[in-house]
Every structure is written in structure tokens, then in C-alpha cells.
Structure 1
Amino acid sequence: MKKVLILNGHQYYDVVARGELTNNFINRADEFFLKNGFEVKHTNIEKGYDIEEECQKFEWADYVLFQYPVYWMSVPWIAKKYFDETFTQGRHYASDGRSRTDASKLYGSGGLLTGKKYMLSLTYNCPASAFDNKDSLFDGMSLDEAHVAVHKTFQFCGLKPLETYAVHDIFKGDLDLDFELEKFEKVLSKNFL
């Protein structure tokens, strides 16, 4: 049986970020995984966590789905704190990968969570047109390039990326949630089945 850890990286802010949208995507993912025979564990970072238990969850999981709203071009600070506390225990990497005796061993190659994969699922206020556009805020970067720090955090520990999903323009007022959830489930199918 495949095992997946669903991380909820939402952080509550009244009016602008109450968590309903994040919960819709997590609920759809949970239904998808259970329907397709996965064993599922959850962590809702904002509700608190035990560092040792979180280390064990990463060791247990074949896959990680990290669902979070993008705040100021990155993860909410509690999610960054979670990774700092969980990944600095030294359980998920043997070293930074380098060797004094073997120059071919490169930085970032010491991860112990090899054979595992992760998916980012993002909720965004910015439009999709802000990416891959040299005249926009991200200077031509793709969605994944704009989230390089999050990707490299997982990759440092040995995980491999799956296709990223993002919903955009969430405050525009015309969000078709059913359409977005269907689109999300198609990415889940592509990544996990």
C-alpha cells in the first residue's frame, strides 16, 4: 500500500486567510488518496506537532503532498519553522553530501529520503500570467523557479519533485472552485497513479 503524508501549511489570518480554500484542497486530496488505496497521515502545522512524530512520518511516507497558501512569495512562517524544526534533527540526511576525500560528491547529495516524492499545491492571489513573463514581478521565472527554496528543502533530504499545482487569482471574486478541484484531481492522478 502506498503511503502519503499530507502537510497543511496554512496559517490563519482573519478576513484574508481563514483556511477554507486550503481545507477544500486537502479534503479533495484525502478523498482521492483513500479512494485509490493509499494509507494517509496528516499534519496540520498550525495546530501543533511533535517533532519526533513528524520525523517518523517523513520516514514512513512514500509521498508528501504539501498544501499551502503563498504569503509574500513563500511559505507561511509557521511552515518554515516546521521545516527548520523537523529537518534539522539530522534524521533525513547523512551530511550535506560533500566529502573531503571525494570531490565528486556534491553539496545537497546527502539526503536519506531517497525513493520518496513530493508535490507542492499552492493557493495564490497572483495571476498565472505573472509567471514565465519577463515583464512581470517574477522576471520570467516559472512557478517552480519562484518556489526554488521550498523545492530545494525537500530535495536536500533526497525527495524528488512531482508536478506542482497552483490555483491563482483567489481574491478576484470569480474563482470556480469546482473547476479548480477537478483540475487539482487530474494533477493528483498524473502524479500518484
Structure 2
Amino acid sequence: MKNVLIINGHQKYEDIAEGNLTKMYIDSASEFFEQNGFSVKHSIVESDYDVKEELQKFAWADYILFQYPVYWMGVPWITKKYIDEVFSTGVNTVTYISDGRSREDTSKKYGNGGLMQGTKYMLSLTYNCPTSEFSNNDGFFDGLSLDEANIATHKTFQFCGAEPLETYSVHDIFKGDLDMDSELKIFNALLKKNFIDNK
């Protein structure tokens, strides 16, 4: 049985971001994993979490699904706080042992001191912006792809040795015409591709 940790990276703002969309994706993912024989644990960044318990979950997990809304081009600040606290406290035990460099061996490069080898992660993002802004030289992100625009989160996991799975994102979430039935089918198809077909 494979273990998956689902991290709810949502931060609530009244009347703007209540967390219902994030919850919908997490509920759908939980059902998918349970139906496919995964053992599931949850973390909620907007909670009174215990850092040591979070690290135990990271050590336990074969997979991490990181679900969060993109606020101001990055993770919500409370989610960044979670990352800083958990990943930093995991030094020498769970997340990383060093930055990878060695005075004795100059071939060892920065970013190769991670302890999470074998762990795979998937980002699942909710966005206000349209998909047309990515991989478009005339778009807001100046030609960056979705993953390039979220490089800080990817590099955090890479620094710790984890491997990326294909990213999911949903866009234009405030337009009022979001077809969630269709989006959840796309989401679940990608979960199958990432966690079942690529085993």
C-alpha cells in the first residue's frame, strides 16, 4: 500500500476565498486515493499544526499532493510559513542534510543534499488568471510556463530531493461559469496518470 499526504495550503479570506474550491479538490482526491488502495493522511496549513507531527507525515509519505490557491503569484503567506517551519525543522532527519556542497568533494553541487529521494509530489493550483497567460510571450508571465511561474515551490521540493509529477491547475475561478464537473474529470484523470499509470 502506498502512502499519500494531502496538504491543504488554503488561507481563508472572507467573501473572497472561503476555501470551498480547495475543499472540493481535496475531497475528490481523497476519494480517488481511498478507492485505489492508498493510505491517506491530511495536513492543513491554516491550523494549529505540530511541526514534529508534520515531519512524521512527510517521512511516512510516498507521495504528496499539495493543493493551494495562488495568491499574488505564489503560495499564501501562511503556507510559506508552514513550508519554512516544516522544511527547516526537518534538517538532518526528513527534508535535507545540507545544501549539497562539500569542501572535500567539489563535484558535489548546491541543491543535492535532500533526504526525500523516492518521494514524489504533485502541485494542484487554483488561479484567477486564464490559461492563456502561460507559455505566451505576449502574456502576463512573459512566456513562462505554468511550472516555470511556480518555480519557487518546485525548487523547494527539488532541494529536498523529491520528484515532481505533472501539475494540475484550474483557471478563471471567479468568472462564474466554471464547469466543475468537467474540471474534476480532468483532475481525476491526471491523478490516475500521476499515481496509478506511472507507478
TM-score between both structures, scaled by the size of structure 1: 0.99
Q: Output the CA distance in 1 between the equivalents of 2:19 and 2:103.
A: 47
Task: Compare 87-96 and 113-122 and name the one that shifted more.
Answer: 87-96
Q: Of 101, 119, 141, which residue of structure 1 is paired with 2:122? A: 119
Partner of 1:130: 133
Q: Does 2:140 match 1:165?
A: no
TM-score between both structures, scaled by the size of structure 2: 0.96
1:26-175 pair list within 5 angstroms: 26-89=26-89, 90=91, 91=93, 92-175=95-178
Q: Output the CA distance in 2 between the equivalents of 1:54 and 1:137.
A: 36
Deviations 1:152-185 (A, max 9, x none): 0111111000000000000111100111011000
Q: Output the CA distance in 1 between the equivalents of 2:73 and 2:48.
A: 23
Letter in 1 for 2:169: A
Cα RMSD between the aligned structures? 0.6
Partner of 1:22: 22
Secondary structure, aligned partner of 1:105: coil
Q: Of 175, 191, 194, which residue of structure 2 is paired with 1:188? A: 191
Q: Which structure 1 segments of 5+ residues have no match?
A: none
Superposition deviation, residue 44 in structure 1: 1.0
Letter in 1 for 2:51: I
Deviations 1:26-58 (A, max 9, x none): 000000000000000000111221000011111
Letter in 2 for 1:12: K
Secondary structure, aligned partner of 1:46: coil
Secondary structure, aligned partner of 1:104: coil
Secondary structure, aligned partner of 1:186: helix
Task: Compare 101-110 and 183-192 and name the one that shifted more.
Answer: 101-110
Q: Output the CA distance in 1 between the equivalents of 2:28 and 2:178.
A: 17
Q: Output the CA distance in 2 between the equivalents of 1:133 and 1:15.
A: 32
Question: Paired residues, what number?
Answer: 193
Q: Which structure 2 segments of 5+ residues have no match?
A: none
Letter in 1 for 2:36: N
% identity of equivalent residues = 66
